[in-house]
Amino acid sequence: MSTPEKPMQAKLVIGLFTKDKSILPELTEQIAGAYGAVDIVSPWFSFDYTSYYEPEMGGPLFRRVLAFEELICQEDLPDIKLETNRIEGNFSQENRRRVNIDPGYMTPERFVLATGKNFTHRIYIGKGIYADLTLIFTKNRFQTLDWTYPDYADNEMRSFLVLVRNRYMIKLKGCEKR
């Protein structure tokens, strides 16, 4: 029989994409107001894998990823997704989003994103939110899955996420020593 245990704390990672890079300082300030200091910020990645969002947001779109210093409880992901949806709404104009915010978390073995959309590989985690297992960490790198979003499957993105994971692993070791 397995004994239930509390899962380890995770690294909060929030991806966002927008056409309007100028909103980043205010957007980062609002997100950091909710989740604390940003630990590491990605470069801008081009977001040309799909035209799905262009009717609403225009184009070209660019993605940036923020990783946070403070670790989170994995079970907080639904609340985080609901809060980032609210922040998206703060930046909307004329009922159109100017930014899409994708919160998720990283553990030593996986990278998970939150979504409000159900699909065969997504697990319901409460409050209308599903967990999307986006990448797995094995053989010293993040591996894609059949359903991994193309922008997260990109080699540059996965290299950045390895940097985030390295910082996270250092933080975990510091927590163990306490």
In-domain check, residue 122: yes
- Closest by CA position to 16, among listed 95, 99, 78: 99
In-domain check, residue 25: yes
What's the token pair of residue 126? 């409460």
Say if residue 176's pLDDT is above 80.
no
Residues with Cβ within 8 Å of 91's Cβ and at least 6 positions away in sequence, in order, are 23, 27, 97, 98, 99
The per-residue pLDDT for range 107-166, each reduced to its tens digit, is 999 999 999 999 999 999 999 999 999 999 999 999 999 999 999 999 999 999 999 999
| Greatest Cα pair distance in the chain | 55
The per-residue pLDDT for range 20-69, each reduced to its tens digit, is 999 999 999 999 999 999 999 999 998 888 888 999 999 999 999 999 99
pLDDT at 177: 62
Over residues 10-24, the mean pLDDT reads 96
Domains of the chain: total: 1
Over residues 63-84, the mean pLDDT reads 98
Say if residue 178's pLDDT is above 60.
no
Sequence-ordered strand ranges (E) for 19-170: 38-41, 45-46, 62-72, 99-107, 110-115, 123-126, 129-138, 141-144
CATH number at residue 35: 3.30.70.260
In-domain check, residue 2: no
Residues with Cβ within 8 Å of 29's Cβ and at least 6 positions away in sequence, in order, are none
